[in-house]
Structure formats: C-alpha cells, structure tokens
Structure 1
Amino acid sequence: MSLYRLLQEREATGRPIRIGVIGAGTFSSAFLAQARLTPGMQLVGVAELDIEKAMKTCLKAGWPKEDIYFGDSTATINDGAKRGRVILTGNSEQLIQADLDVIVEITGVAEAGAYHAWTALEAGKHVVMVNVEADVLLGKALKEKANEKGLVYSMAYGDQPALICELIDWARTIGVEIVCAGKGTRYQPEYRYSTPETVWKHFGFSEEQLASGDYNAQMYNSFLDGTKSAIEMCAVANASGLVPQKCGLQFPPLEVAGLANILKPTTAGGILEHSGTVEVVASENRDGTPIKRNLRWGVYIVFKVATEHMRRLLSEHDFIKDSSGEYAAVYRPFHLIGLELGISVASAVLRGEATGSTNFFIADVTSVAKKELKSGAILDGEGGYTVYGRLVRADESVAKKYLPIGLSRGAKIVRPVAKDSILTYDDIELDERQFSCQVRKMLEEEFKSTTRMSGMRKRS
C-alpha cells in the first residue's frame, strides 16, 4: 500500500503520526510547512532553545498563531496535542518523553543531535536524523541502538544522502554494480579556506535576503569549504558500503553528460582510484566559469552496464553513457530538503523502514587546519575559521587517531598545528564528559577490536 494511502487511513481513523521536531531553522521551516498540509500527520511540538525563533519559524511555515502555545512539561505537551495545539518548548527532553511516534532531529550540532537521538531511541521513539553531522560521528552506534529497541533510525529524505541511497538501492535491486555515487556542489580549491566573513561574496545573496536573518554564515560556509560535501559522502558510504578513495574527494568540474565518461576507474579511462566509491562534482570550472548543465543541486549514480540487453535498452532510451558503452549514469537534478522530509517520517512510522541508514563504519570526516593553529586556540567546528572537513577511510582515521570534525567544536589546541595538517587527538584537549565523545570512544574501540579479530582470522 502507498504511503499516501496509509496516511489517509491514519487521518480517517483519528490516529495521525505524532511528530516532535528538535531545532527550528530553515530545514525545519520547510518541513513544518508541508506537515501542516499532509493528512495523517500531527505536529505535536517543536523544541528550540530560542523560543522566539521557534515561533517565527512556525508562523513562517503557515501555522496559525492561535494554535501555537508554550510549555515546558511533558504533561503540557500531551495535553496540547489532545487539543490540536502545537507546543513550543525549550526543553527537548520533555518533548522526547511526550506521547510521540517519531522525533525529527534538525539542530545541525553533532553533540546535541547525538544526545537527542540516543535519548529518543531509549524512550521508544523512531528517529529521523536530519543532523548529518551527528550521523557521521556516531551513526553506527545509533543504528545499533535502534535495532536493539526495534525502532527505525533513518536518514532524511529530501537531503542529498538519502536521495543518493535511494538511487543506489534502485540500481542494486535491478542487478547492476555501482561504480560511483554522489552529488553536485559549488566548489573551488580555495573555498576550503573560506570563513563566515568571506562566505557571502561567493553565494551572491542580496543584502535584503541576508537582512532577513534566515541565513547562518557558519552553516553556509560549511557548504562552501567542502566540509558538508565530505560529511554527506561519508554518510552515503557508511549507509551503502561504498569505500572512499584514498585521496578523499576530487570535486571534478562536470556537466551531467560527462558523468559516466569521467566517474569511472582510471583503468577504464576515468579519474576514480577504484570502482564502488563516492565523489562530488563541481558546478563550475576551475577558472570560475559556470558549467551549463551542472548538477549543483542534484544527485547521481554511475553504474556498470552488465548485459547486452541493458546496453541495447540504454541506447534506445538515450541514457547518459560513456564512450565505450560500458558505463551509464542516472541523476536527479534537485533536492528539496525539508519539503520532502515527510517521506522519511511516514516510512519510519507506517512501514518500519528507513530512507537510508548507517550500516557500516567505513568512512569518517577528519578535521584539517584552515590556518596555522597555535597552542591555546579553540576550534569552532565545521564551517568556521579554524578547520575544514576531509573525507577519509575509517581504518586510516582510527589508526592515526584523527580528530573527527564532529568533535572539533570547542576543542583546545595543545601544540602548534601547521596549515592543511590533519588534526589528531594528540593535538587537542577534549571535554571527555561530552556524550558524543564518550560514545565515539566506544565506537572506535569496537572498530579496533573488530579489525583485530578480522586480521587474526585472515592469518589463521
């Protein structure tokens, strides 16, 4: 049965999906606007430290002011739900403990997101994890917790990782081999040194747009400096089992027609170190000129043409192919972030299925110095002034004690670090009381143990 039909049944029987949202930014606004219009869904509450911001977000999304109330207790939230109200609260834990089916985590902060997701799963709630920063740091541990509880831990449909995973699943289900998967973005090598002060000149937003207050400079800078791309490709790798290249991401400038010709192994005339990997394509040439048919907002896969039947059909249907006819590409030219998020919410609650989920710890995103860092400096995390993220393989990251980008915010430098150097745990001082720090340590120890056992089996 279709998701929409299942939602209609929920609406008709007075049993809507009860939703709690944590975080009230741009992504939230888009989802809240659609949730209001979707049968079978009920927004119970929004948790946000800045209550004024939460109110503004709800009003912008079209929720009537008379339906919005404030409350900081689970009892108040539950009572509001019975009356058809939306409760805004500064207490995320009280929202998590309310009578909900699913928590949607949209804070974008790794520490907060990890704690919220873990707490929600412990409380018996499904989790839709928009917070990719937390997912790449601790996704495998969170997925294992969900499995233990018989719950769904899901990527967010509408964001690029989930859409890429959907294409991968489509290809594998019809029996073809994935060569490469990824997305497009705006990228130049010098952007990796961009800061929140320099970011807007690259995006071209008007003064009027920026004055609206809807644009977070550090968040947008993480899109530009390559960190977000590394994080999203890490999420895809850990969901699908695709293995990053040793070089990380190359960001080749490409139009969609060239996807299959370039994104194949070097042994076949392409640029990839190996088949079965992830890559991000740039939407402009290295000289800054735009590529006409670029994939800036879209996602893609490249796959191996397996049979003569497939070769013939792809030719007849004018598919994107390489010059040899051995490789082909499929792409989706857009992603609509929060506008599409309801797919994940409905799938988790009504089908018990995730729209992409972390199954492995294959990839990691490490912290790289944007400038020379002196002893005593405090790191400001992804998109800031001090570090950018680089995609690496998990085995290299754990063995060399690399500092994950998700733990970088607030870390203190204890010895000088040169520009463009990968930071390690030995370079910094962490607050080990942080929830994410503790769970990450457990995840790394489990990885080391599994790796040792695997090595012993191979030797025997």
Structure 2
Amino acid sequence: MIRSTAPRRSTPIRVALTGANGGYGRTLLDQLRRLPDMESVQLIDPDVAGVGRMLADLGVDPATVATPATSDETAAAVAAGRIAVLADGAAIDFASIDVLVEATGRIDAGHGYADAALEHGTHVVMVSKEIESVAGVALAAKARAKGLRYLPGDGDQPADLLRLVDWVLAVGFEIVALGKSSEYDLRFDPATGVVDQNGVTIDAPGLADHLLLGDDLHATLDARAAQVASLKRSAAADACEMNVVSLYTGAVADVESMHYPVVRPDELADVYATREAGGLVGRTGAIDVFSMLRLPGEASFAGGVFAIVRTGDPVTWEILRGKGHVVSRAGDFAAIYWPYHYMGIETPLSLAAAVDGTSTLREPRQHTIMAARSTGALEAGTTFRVEGHHHEIAGVAPVIVDPDAGEIAPYYLLSGARLVRDVPAGELVQLADLDDVPQAALEAYRAGLALGV
C-alpha cells in the first residue's frame, strides 16, 4: 500500500463545523474520518436531527453522538470521545476545538461564529464566501492581531485558485487573466442539437456551426452566446468567489458582470488573451468566469480554476503544445489549469495550514466590492432576501466594482435589509439606501475598508 510520508500528529486537530448539514459539510466530515490526526468534535446546525441522520448515513455509531444544551455539557461530551451536535453557538465549547470551519453561508450567523472563534483563540477556516466577501478583510486582520490564522477553505474555488496562482507566480510567470468555470457545464449533443445545463435543456442546433473558434474569435463567442441566451449562466456564487480571489490577489474584473464566454478548455489561451492580441482581456490580471462547452463523452472542467500566462521561448512552448498543453494559436499565451474543486475533501489541507501556520497567502484587502445593481426600479420598503442554492437576491444583479469610500453596499449586506428610498433601475445600491443591515457584519466591512488596499 502507498502511504503518506507527511508526519502525523500525536494529538489530533479538533474541528468544529458550522452549517454541518450541507453538501460541503458532508464531504468534509467523510474525509476527516480517513485522517487519524484530525477529528470533528462539534457540529453546529439548526437541524440537529438532520445532522444525526447524516452521521448515521456516514457510518457513525449513534451512541458516540451527543446533543448537549450548554458549553459545559459539550466539554464533557467531547472529553468522553463523543461528537457534540449543537443547534446554535450558545453551547460551543471553544476550549475543546483548535479550528472552526464556517460553512453556514449566512452573513449574520456565520460572521458571529467566526468572530467568536477568534475571540476565544481558535483558528478559522472560512468556507462561506458570502461572509468572506463582506467581512473577510477584518476577520483576517483580527486573527493576525491575536496570533491566529484565518484562511479560505481549500476545496472551494477561491482557495484552489489562490494555490494555483501561488504556483504560477513562484515559477516566474506573468498572469494575464485568472478565474474558474461556471457552476454548470453546457453539454451539447450535435446529433440532437440539444444543450443540457444541469437538467435544463434547450434546442440550439445552430451551436454545431460554432464548435471551433474559427478566424473571428469574437464573432464565434457572440454566436455561441446567442444560441444559449435563454439559459441562466451567471450566478451570484461565481461573482462572490471571484471577489474573494480579488481580496487576496488585487486582481479586478475586466467588466463588472464578467465576460462569461462559452468556451471549450482548449480555447482558453486564445479567448483570454489580451485585446491587442485578439482576446477578451482589457487589463492585465483580470478575474473572470467562463461557461464550459462540452460534447458527449468529454470530461468536465468540474468547476475548476485557470490562469492565463504570457509564454516565453517559442520553441519551449511548441514542445509543450505537442505534449497537450493549452497554448494560444499564436503561441504567446498559455492556460495553466486545475479541472477540479473537491469541496470538503481538500479542506484538511487548510486545517493543517491553520494549525501549523504554513499558509503563504498574503493578507486580504478590499480591492473590489461585490455590489448589487438593481435590475429594475426598486421601491422604498423593499426587503431583500437571500434565497436558493446559489444564495441570490431578487431585484438586484451581482457585480464586481472598485471600492468607493465605503458607500456602495456589499451584495450580501442586503440580506434581510430594507430599502429606505426608491432605487432606479441600473443603479448600485448604496449603504445609505438601507435599514436593518446586519450591524456586526457592517462594522467589520467598514473596518476592512479602513485598512486600505
């Protein structure tokens, strides 16, 4: 059997997980059971019964699961070797955990969990990109001041892309563009002319005429976009993830809603070349998202991440092209990519980095804001709700913009907030437009802005 050469700890890393009864939580809990030097000791989720069913589904003996009501009861349960399942943060025993993984995706609750963990001397791994986009800068600064670590969670695209960027820069490349594929592929069957996007199908027989880029890249991309125009290809989750990457890299969006070209992976280096070279990119270091187009039998990009770099010696890159690497037709740009994100399966890497202090990420700053632009006229009194799998808000579209003295409202600060004035169609929602904003998260956002870029 092939075995890891990584040293194993004599004392396991003790992990608390919020938002435990979700897809991300399940993947992490399953992976932790494979690692002898990490263990989940406290699971926090309002659906205590659902967490219990999930644990049983994963093969955990119900006799080893406790549902304490106080922090003292939680401490006793953990000391007895049981997993404590908690309905909220009131019964968390921070003394018996080393790292808190925040995965609720809810601004008020998630920020509260992360902030409390840091107050109690506990490292934080942030999976909730929604919270990161609003309060990540302040939480990271607080962690640093306390000698703790605050890290985005490996397994989600932001942390994966940051690791890829670290590698790309370490070997000496200049990055022209960086990003990820969108949430769902466009699977096109030329035999039927049907496009399937995660179970939503449309007839698009004309797409068969545009499977190759041809001589006019922009015309091809426009034609592909027209063929799939009835599908919803962008998501707030995409904008949020790219905003998080911006915090740690300083990269900015080329256009505020991102390009979202319909692309096959072997075209990435041509599509994300600079405009001067015939591509889409108008500024160096642009963050973006593409919709992957694939045919039956072709592998998915799996929500993976990419970086587009300038090449060097043409002979070197022709050698690499011959080995299957993605190089632009003119040879001046190349795509370096990881076609995966494995959710909680990868997060143990972040847990180890938090405890060991081995992360190479630079401190985040609010280089961009994920803002909300009204998609129609909004009336005073409108209350915003974050809803659905992708945590979107009706009436506004997510956009990535430059900071503006703190007056632009971050998208996820709209959660539960109410408009105090009418907002015309096409305007950015401002902080002054809102009442009932989550106050702790707002204060954290302002504190992060105050640190500058």
Pair 1:45 & 2:42 matched: yes
Deviations 1:410-453 (A, max 9, x none): 11112222344321123222346x21012222333443xx7xxx
Task: Tell me the SS of whatever aligns to 1:49.
Answer: coil
Match of 2:181 among 181, 184, 201: 184
Shift of 1:52: 1.8
Shift of 1:275: 1.3
For the 8 Å contact 2:102–2:113, the answer to whether it is kept is yes
For the 8 Å contact 2:373–2:396, the answer to whether it is kept is yes
Shift of 1:297: 2.1
Select the structure that is richer in helix. 1
Equivalent residues, number? 406
Q: Which residue is 1:280 aligned to?
A: 289
Shift of 1:94: 3.6
1:72 aligned partner, one-letter code = A
For the 8 Å contact 2:68–2:91, the answer to whether it is kept is no
Match of 1:149 among 146, 149, 164: 146
TM-score w.r.t. the length of structure 2 is: 0.82
For the 8 Å contact 1:260–1:302, the answer to whether it is kept is yes
> 1: distance between equivalents of 2:162 and 2:376?
35
Q: Which residue is 1:20 aligned to?
A: 16
Select the structure that is richer in strand. 2
Pair 1:84 & 2:43 matched: no
1:66 aligned partner, one-letter code = A
2:377 aligned partner, one-letter code = E
Shift of 1:294: 5.7
> 2: distance between equivalents of 1:363 and 1:429?
23
Match of 1:443 among 423, 445, 448: 448
Identify if the C-alpha distance between structure 1 residues 119 and 331 changes in structure 2 by more than 3 Å, giving closer, same or farther.
same
Match of 2:52 among 51, 55, 60: 55
Pair 1:377 & 2:374 matched: no
> 1: distance between equivalents of 2:336 and 2:236?
25
For the 8 Å contact 2:184–2:197, the answer to whether it is kept is no
Instruction: Identify which range, 179-188 or 98-107, moves more after superposition.
Output: 179-188
For the 8 Å contact 1:102–1:126, the answer to whether it is kept is yes
Pair 1:430 & 2:436 matched: yes
Task: Tell me the SS of whatever aligns to 2:427.
Answer: coil
> 2: distance between equivalents of 1:408 and 1:166?
30
> 1: distance between equivalents of 2:427 and 2:345?
38
Deviations 1:40-83 (A, max 9, x none): 11211111122222223322333221211111323222222222
Shift of 1:353: 2.6
For the 8 Å contact 2:234–2:260, the answer to whether it is kept is no
Identify if the C-alpha distance between structure 1 residues 225 and 355 changes in structure 2 by more than 3 Å, giving closer, same or farther.
farther
Pair 1:363 & 2:368 matched: yes
Pair 1:250 & 2:259 matched: yes
Q: Which residue is 1:301 aligned to?
A: 307
> 2: distance between equivalents of 1:296 and 1:398?
37
Task: Tell me the SS of whatever aligns to 1:9.
Answer: coil
Shift of 1:380: 0.8
Pair 1:266 & 2:265 matched: no
Q: Which residue is 2:427 aligned to?
A: 421
Q: Which residue is 2:132 aligned to?
A: 135
Identify if the C-alpha distance between structure 1 residues 155 and 4 changes in structure 2 by more than 3 Å, giving closer, same or farther.
farther
For the 8 Å contact 1:185–1:295, the answer to whether it is kept is no
> 1: distance between equivalents of 2:296 and 2:420?
42
Identify if the C-alpha distance between structure 1 residues 446 and 166 changes in structure 2 by more than 3 Å, giving closer, same or farther.
closer
> 2: distance between equivalents of 1:355 and 1:229?
24
Task: Tell me the SS of whatever aligns to 1:367.
Answer: strand
Pair 1:412 & 2:426 matched: no
Identify if the C-alpha distance between structure 1 residues 309 and 19 changes in structure 2 by more than 3 Å, giving closer, same or farther.
farther
TM-score w.r.t. the length of structure 1 is: 0.81
1:346 aligned partner, one-letter code = A
Match of 1:65 among 62, 66, 79: 62
Task: Tell me the SS of whatever aligns to 1:104.
Answer: strand
> 2: distance between equivalents of 1:310 and 1:50?
56
Shift of 1:281: 0.4
Q: Which residue is 1:345 aligned to?
A: 351
Task: Tell me the SS of whatever aligns to 1:249.
Answer: coil
Match of 1:329 among 335, 343, 359: 335
1:16 aligned partner, one-letter code = P
Shift of 1:408: 0.5
Deviations 1:205-257 (A, max 9, x none): 8xxxxxxxxxxxxxxxxx96521111000111111222222444111111101
For the 8 Å contact 2:127–2:152, the answer to whether it is kept is yes
For the 8 Å contact 1:136–1:231, the answer to whether it is kept is yes
Deviations 1:308-345 (A, max 9, x none): 57435524533110112111111222211112211211
Q: Any gaps of 5 or more consecutive residues in structure 1?
A: 189-200, 206-222, 451-460
2:357 aligned partner, one-letter code = G
Identify if the C-alpha distance between structure 1 residues 160 and 186 changes in structure 2 by more than 3 Å, giving closer, same or farther.
closer
Deviations 1:168-215 (A, max 9, x none): 111100111111111111579xxxxxxxxxxxx96428xxxxxxxxxx
Give 1:109-124 correspondences, 5 Å limit: 109-124=106-121
Between the aligned residues of both structures, percent identity stands at 26
> 2: distance between equivalents of 1:405 and 1:129?
18
2:435 aligned partner, one-letter code = E
